[in-house]
Amino acid sequence: MPKKIAVVTGSAGFLGSHLCDKLIEKGYKVIGLDNFITGKLENIRHLLKSKNFSFLKHNITKYIDIKGRVDYVLHFASPASPEDYLEHPIPTLKAGSLGTHNALGLAKEKKAKFMLASTSEVYGDPLVHPQPESYWGNVNSIGVRGCYDESKRFAEAITMAYHRVHKIDTRIVRIFNTYGPRIRINDGRVIPNFIYQALDHKPLTVYGKGSQTRSFCYYSDLIEGIFRLMNFRINTPLNLGNPDEFTILELARLVLRLTNAKDKIIFKPLPLDDPKQRRPDITQAKRLLKWHPKIKLREGLKETIAWFRLHS
């Protein structure tokens, strides 16, 4: 039986590259696309030697031309950290709009299954806690973070439109805060920030009082959930993330302990539209996919810190 063929956009990114690894491990052939606006060649260099991986440098806001059969289109291309999308707001909006349109067009042409990597940011600064898939969100569409939040909300809308009109077999995964090896050292998100500062003997920067909460999922748990979702028939959005909730101040203190850093914590004003709470309701993922995160924060941080020590 021939191997199934998956196209992964954003294949050189943090999550995209790990997804490519998983698919190849599971016996798929993978065609990776990336334009390296935030992805890194180092993330997929080991895959370039594999007969089951091919790579095309491509901006997914342009028409995607793939020869031959395609069974899955997995759209993971987009700047994803606040530092990235604040620096690249227009490319971020284009990745969510034009990029999703082109990826859906490829899925339609090839009669392939389609998966959109969406985000917990569609919930904005939530008024419901934890956030179930049924919650419509509280998003400032014209705020500085709107370029990312609204690009993903549009991406979800066009994905569902293609499902309803063109009968494409779609999946939408709403990804909550994820971390682990290959996340960029200068990514700008809180875990790489804290680890970098601790290893560089700098004070850890906490915004506001550090009372805002986040839930952190280790990359291997998330990728397993994504793979299960690929092969389960649910077309509406599904939350994937770790429901264990921590304040940012708790996280900072844990990173200091695990790195044996002697540095202090400094406090700065809270950024605009920074969510006060973020925690996934994963009831559906548990019931439908028989999935739940296994890696505790302390364990995942140890692995991530070890990776940072080798690569910083």
Q: Domain for residue 185, yes or no?
A: no
User: Could you tell me if 262 and 128 lie in one domain?
Assistant: no
User: Global pTM?
Assistant: 0.95
Q: Domain for residue 264, yes or no?
A: yes
**Where do we find the tokens 């996340």?**
183
User: Could you tell me if 157 and 259 lie in one domain?
Assistant: no
pLDDT confidence of residue 35: 97
User: Could you tell me if 37 and 100 lie in one domain?
Assistant: yes
- Is-contact 167 112, C-beta < 8 A? no
Q: Domain for residue 194, yes or no?
A: yes
CA trace torsion 33, 39, 45, 46 (10° rounding): -90
**Catalytic site positions:** 148
User: Could you tell me if 91 and 147 lie in one domain?
Assistant: yes
Q: What span, in angstroms and rounded, lies between the C-alpha atoms of 13 and 40?
A: 6
pLDDT confidence of residue 187: 85
With a cut of 80, say whether residue 239 has pLDDT above it: yes
User: Could you tell me if 203 and 143 lie in one domain?
Assistant: no
With a cut of 70, say whether residue 273 has pLDDT above it: no
The percentage of the chain sitting over the pLDDT mark of 90, rounded to a whole number, equals 90
User: Could you tell me if 206 and 153 lie in one domain?
Assistant: no
Q: Domain for residue 288, yes or no?
A: yes
Domain containing 222 equals 5-179+218-242+280-294
User: Could you tell me if 114 and 197 lie in one domain?
Assistant: no
User: Could you tell me if 77 and 147 lie in one domain?
Assistant: yes
Number of domains into which the chain is organized = 2
CA trace torsion 109, 21, 176, 96 (10° rounding): -30
Bigger pLDDT: 55 vs 82:
55
Average pLDDT score over the chain:
95
Q: Domain for residue 195, yes or no?
A: yes
Q: Which CATH number fits the domain that encloses residue 202? A: 3.90.25.10
pLDDT confidence of residue 70: 98
Q: Which CATH number fits the domain that encloses residue 75? A: 3.40.50.720
User: Could you tell me if 208 and 158 lie in one domain?
Assistant: no
Q: Domain for residue 184, yes or no?
A: no
User: Could you tell me if 64 and 78 lie in one domain?
Assistant: yes
Q: Domain for residue 272, yes or no?
A: yes
User: Could you tell me if 126 and 168 lie in one domain?
Assistant: yes
Residues 6+ apart with CB under 8 A from 136: none
- CA 292 from centre of chain: 17
User: Could you tell me if 121 and 160 lie in one domain?
Assistant: yes
With a cut of 70, say whether residue 157 has pLDDT above it: yes
Q: 161: how many CB neighbours lie within 10 A of its CB?
A: 13
Q: Domain for residue 53, yes or no?
A: yes
Q: How confident is the model at residue 263 (pLDDT cuts 50, 70, 90)?
A: confident
Dihedral pair phi/psi, residue 271, rounded to 5°: -65, 160
